[in-house]
Amino acid sequence: MPASFDDFFFTYQALIYGVGVNGLLALSMYVVLAIGQLSLGQAAFMGIGAYVSALLTVKLEAPFAVALGAGMLAPALAAAIIGVPTLRLSGVYLALATIGLGEVLRIFYLNSETAGGALGLPGIPQQGGAWLIYLCLAIALFVFMAIGRSRIGRAMEAMREDETAASVMGVNVPLYRFGALVASAVLAGLAGALSADVSSFIGPNEYGFDQAVTILSYALLGGIGSPFGPVLGAIILTLLPELLRPLHDFRFVVNGLIIVIAVLYMPRGLLAWRFRRIGPAGEARP
- Give pLDDT, residue 192: 95
- Give pLDDT, residue 260: 78
Rounded to 5°, angle at Cα 57 from 216 and 55: 60
Cα–Cα nearest to 218, from 186, 185, 258: 258
**pTM across the whole model:** 0.87
φ, ψ at 225 (rounded to 5°)? -65, -30
Return the SS3 of 81.
helix
Residue 260's H or E segment, with its range, is helix 250-265
Question: Is it the case that residue 125 has pLDDT exceeding 50?
Answer: yes
- Give pLDDT, residue 136: 96
Q: What is the mean pLDDT of residues 109-133?
A: 88
Q: Give the residues across from 121 on adjacent strands.
A: 202
pLDDT category of residue 276 using cuts at 50, 70 and 90:
low
What lies within 8 Å, CB to CB, of 149 at 6+ separation is 275, 277
In angstroms, rounded to a whole number, what is the distance separating the alpha carbons of residues 141 and 256? 27
What are 139-181's pLDDT values in tens digits?
999 999 999 888 888 888 888 888 888 888 888 888 888 999 9
By CB atoms closer than 10 A (0-12, 13-18, 19+), residue 153 is: middle
In angstroms, rounded to a whole number, what is the distance separating the alpha carbons of residues 13 and 198? 9
What are 64-104's pLDDT values in tens digits?
999 999 999 999 999 998 877 776 766 677 778 788 888 88
What are 190-200's pLDDT values in tens digits?
999 999 999 98
- Give pLDDT, residue 237: 86
Question: Is it the case that residue 282 has pLDDT exceeding 50?
Answer: no
φ, ψ at 50 (rounded to 5°)? -65, -50
What are 215-271's pLDDT values in tens digits?
988 888 888 888 999 999 999 888 887 776 665 666 566 666 776 777 777 767 766
In angstroms, rounded to a whole number, what is the distance separating the alpha carbons of residues 149 and 61? 42
- Give pLDDT, residue 280: 43
CB 94 within 8 A of CB 86: yes
Question: Is it the case that residue 284 has pLDDT exceeding 60?
Answer: no
Q: Give the residues across from 285 on adjacent strands.
A: 277
Tell me which amino acid residue 157 is.
E
